[in-house]
Each structure stands twice: as structure tokens, then as C-alpha cells.
Structure 1
Amino acid sequence: MWTKPAAPGEPDEERLLRRIAKGDRSAFDQFYRRTSPWLAVRLKRRCADEQLVAEVLQDTYLTVWRAAGTFAGAADGAAVGWLWAVAARRLVDHFRREGRHRARVDAVASHVTPGAPGADETLLESTLSGDVGTALASLAPQLREVLQAMVLDGLSVRETAALLGIPEGTVKTRARSARLAMRRAMS
């Protein structure tokens, strides 16, 4: 597990989220202390901007406080997967806002409206290059997002399924298809 494990007698993340949904501030504090170090590391793998990571962490935990009642998972790791899904969406939202702002500035400067790639593609391009980056870029988006979650973020099949909102079997199938496609592209 990636988060600080619960001490004997302490509630797990799922129970903490259910208590947070009822307005339990101490459960929120415990959830934050247990998950924020892990979440910060995961976000830093996607974004090198420390200030942006701090903003995303703040937005994520504000969302946790407000939306804990929407958590419906019952499987092990589901709460952490749900937390990562919230954080990943907040990060993409920040990149999109930044991209739109930058696109407007560039459009005014060049008098041409640029076609900006998606935030995930920008992150991948900056992270990976060469044959691996080219092979990854050639994958279908649904295959690429599974590989990103499982390989770059280190999520399990269950957590990837929770993050992407797809069945575990679909995650396994897409991961296998992605690996085969990568192998073909690199040979």
C-alpha cells in the first residue's frame, strides 16, 4: 500500500471517508495525515511545479471534505483510488486553465489560434522521449491512459479501474493490448 497504514484499532481510509461525509473533522485530519504524503509524491511525478502541486493538493482535500459522501467504494484500495481520481482531475483542470490562458496570450501575440495538445499528452512528452515516447504516443488514448495509471503512477488494476471508472477486466484487457502494441511499435 502507498499510504501510511492504519495503526491497530484505527479506521481504514474507507471508514474515514464515510465519517468525513458526516462532517467528522478529526476523521478528515487523520485521512489527510495518512494520505497527503503519498498524494504529493504522485502529483510531483506528473507536475514539477511545486506551487501547482500545493494548489492541487489543497483543491483535492477541499473536494474530499465537500464530496466524501459521493464515495461509494467498498473494495480494498477504493478510497485511495477515489482520492487519486479527484486529484488527477484537479491537476488536469489546472493544466487546462493554464493552457487556455497561455493559448490566449499566444494567440494575441501571433494573431493565430494555436491547437494545444491535451494536458496528459504534454506531460507524457515532457516525461518520455525517444522510442518509448514515440511508441506510447502511437497508442489509442484509452490504452495510453491505462498504461499511465499502472506504469507511471504505479496503480494496481483495482485502483486503475476506480480511477478510470471502468471494470477491472477492461483494465487488464487494455493493459495487455497496450503492452502488445508497445512491443510491436518498438520492434
Structure 2
Amino acid sequence: MHETWADARLLEAVADGDRRALEVLYGRHAPWLVTRLTRRCADPTVVDESVQDTFVAVWRTARKWHGRGEVAAWIWGIGIRRLLDQLRRRPLTVPPAYEQVVVSAEEQVLLGIEYGELGPALNSLSPELRAVVQATVLDGLTTREAGRLLGIPTGTVKTRMMRAKALLREELA
């Protein structure tokens, strides 16, 4: 029965303490959440802990979802914050086997996002602008896909991206 429910209805049931509804939400959303978080963190233990923390937070805070936007976007917001919390608690260590290895361009960019000047610049953006940058640039979604995920029109995604680029240029100049 729960399997046919829309995400919004499942989340309402979770808010009322329905564990089966949480199981269905987990089954629908955990796989893509793992994939997206893995793009930002190569440590599967950290990713798994972040996903578990995400769904504990969904269980505890389901009443805070106000019905605006997609449930998936709300879960993503929790998930990325849980990943960042996990990463902040762990010291940055480079295994000896990788000290002399040439790092790919993508890895350099991701390390720059987390530990370089870009991280604080991204954090200076409003949550709305940061979400668009993360969805389109870091996750590689099209503007249409980002709009669907974030629950906003495609034109709004484009406008927010233009604004975010301008603010990032100022911040990094």
C-alpha cells in the first residue's frame, strides 16, 4: 500500500510516526543519495554514515517539511549537510600510497571546493543560490533536472545561476 503513495504523502505519514512509510522513502531515495554523496566523498563509510544520519533526521524532522518543492530536494538538503558534518569531524589525511600520485583535475576541483577558497565562497551564497550551483555544477544536472529536483521553474534556475556566478566572481576576485 505505501509503495504506491507519493513522496509527500509518505512524508506526512512519517511525521505521524509511520515506520513503514520511512522504509519506503528510504528505499526510493537512499540509492540516489548514496550516488550523489559519493560524487563528493570517496570514503564509503562516511557516505553510509551520512545517509543513515539523513534518514534519522527525516524521521525526527518530517513535520518541518512544509509541502513546498520536492521531497527529494528536501532530503538532499539534509543529506549534504550531514555529509559536511561528517567531513568536518574528520581530519584530512592523505594515505601514504597517494602522496606521490597525480591527482585528476576533477579531484583537484573537488578538493578545492572543500578545502580551498571556493568552499567559503560557496558558503557565502544564499541557500537558494548554493543549491542551484550544487545541482548544476557539482552534480552535473541540466537546468531542467535541477528545476525539477529543487521544485522551481527552469528560468529561475538560470537566473539564480547567473546571480551565483556574479557573486562568486566578486568573492573570488
Asked if 1:44 is matched to 2:43, the reply is no
Task: Quote the Cα distance in structure 1 between the aligned partners of 2:5 and 2:14.
Answer: 12
Amino acid paired to 1:95: L
Q: Is 1:175–2:161 an aligned residue pair?
A: yes
Change (3 A) 1:16 1:127: farther
Shift of residue 14 of structure 1?
1.1
Change over 3 Å in CA distance of 1:69–1:14 after alignment to 2:
same
**Matched length:** 142
- Between the aligned partners of 1:96 and 1:32, the Cα distance in structure 2 is 25
Q: 8 Å contact 1:57–1:87 — kept in the other structure?
A: yes
Structure 2: distance between partners of 1:160 and 1:74: 10
Task: Report which of the two structures shows the higher radius of gyration computed on alpha carbons.
Answer: 1
For residues 66 and 178 of structure 1, do their structure 2 counterparts lie closer, same or farther at Cα, with a shift above 3 Å needed?
closer
Residue pair 1:43, 1:53 contacting (<8 A) in 2 also: yes
- Structure 1 range deviating more: 79-88 or 167-176: 167-176
Q: Which residue pairs with 1:149 in the alignment?
A: 135
Q: Which runs of 5+ in 2 are unaligned?
A: 94-104, 111-116, 169-173
> What SS class does the counterpart of residue 156 from structure 1 fall into?
helix
Counterparts of residues 17-166 of structure 1 (less than 5 Å)? 17-75=11-69, 78-99=70-91, 126=107, 128=109, 137=118, 141=122, 142=125, 145=130, 146-153=132-139, 154=141, 156-157=146-147, 159-160=149-150
Does structure 1 retain, via aligned residues, the 8 Å contact 2:146–2:157? no
Which residue of structure 1 lines up, in the alignment, with residue 10 of structure 2? Answer: 16
Q: Secondary structure at the match of 2:85?
A: helix
- What does the per-residue CA deviation read over 1:67-93, in whole Å, with 9 as the maximum and x for residues that have no partner? 111111244xx1000000000110111
SS across alignment from 2:90: helix
1:161·1:171 contact (CA, 8 Å) conserved in 2? no
Q: TM-score, normalised by structure 2?
A: 0.65
Give 1:174 shift.
3.0
CA–CA separation in structure 2 for the residues paired with 1:40 and 1:147 = 19
C-alpha spacing 1:125/1:92, structure 2 compared with 1 (3 Å): farther
TM-score scaled by length of structure 1: 0.61
Q: Which SS does the other structure have where 1:46 is aligned?
A: coil
Whether the aligned pair in 2 keeps the contact of 1:157 and 1:172 (CA below 8 Å) is no
**Matches of 2:21 and 2:86, distance apart in 1:** 27
Matched to 2:53, the amino acid is: D
Structure 1 residues 17 and 127: alpha-carbon distance in aligned structure 2, compared to 1, 3 A threshold = farther
- Whichever residue aligns with residue 151 of structure 1, its letter is V
